[in-house]
Amino acid sequence: MDRPPGHGRAGRHPVLDTLTREQCEAHLAVGGVGRIVYSSGRGPVALPVNFEFTEGEVIFSTDKSKAAALEARNAVGFEVDRVDEAMSEGWSVVVTGQARRIEDPEERKRLASLDLEAWAGGDRHALIGIRPDELTGRVIIHESTPDHD
């Protein structure tokens, strides 16, 4: 418990498996905190954001300048994962698609019920949606094998 996150060890019989699209969507549907990833003039950027997944789209709020930067890209990435270091298991889902600013009043009204308040506070009221052009995921699990003494 006193090790920094990510310093766990592999389990006895780890298996890296590919998630189906449906499994990826199920993980996204839980919402929470993920990372928006995009290229900037200074190189790759990964920013944590509170997000929800609704009607096949990742939704999050950000400030106006980041929203403009995201909209200007041909494609952005979004990644979410969960790791259980005690069990040496976890999963990761990656979304690739184009970011769009959500400005339609009816759509904004519909999305207002989502839990998108940014932990960092501030003026982060520009809603962004990413519909996956590509959706991939992986999971690490452990196969049980009988012990041979």
Q: Which residue matches tokens 């959500």? A: 102
* Each residue's pLDDT expressed in tens, for the chain with a length of 149 residues: 454 555 555 555 678 899 999 999 999 999 999 999 999 889 999 999 999 999 999 999 999 999 999 999 999 999 999 987 776 789 999 999 999 999 998 888 888 877 676 666 666 778 999 999 999 999 988 766 555 44
pLDDT value, residue 114: 75
pLDDT value, residue 120: 66
Region label for 44, one of left (φ > 0), alpha (ψ between -120 and 50) or beta (otherwise): beta
SS3 132: coil
Q: Which residue matches tokens 């969507």? A: 25
Q: Rounded to an integer, what distance in angstroms lies between the CA atom of residue 77 and that of residue 95?
A: 6
SS3 127: strand
Please give the full DSSP string across 25-80, using - where no structure is assigned: HHHHHT-EEEEEEEEETTEEEEEEEEEEEETTEEEEEE-HHHHHHHHTSS-EEEEE
Q: Which fold, 21-141?
A: Pnp Oxidase; Chain A (2.30.110)
pLDDT value, residue 46: 95
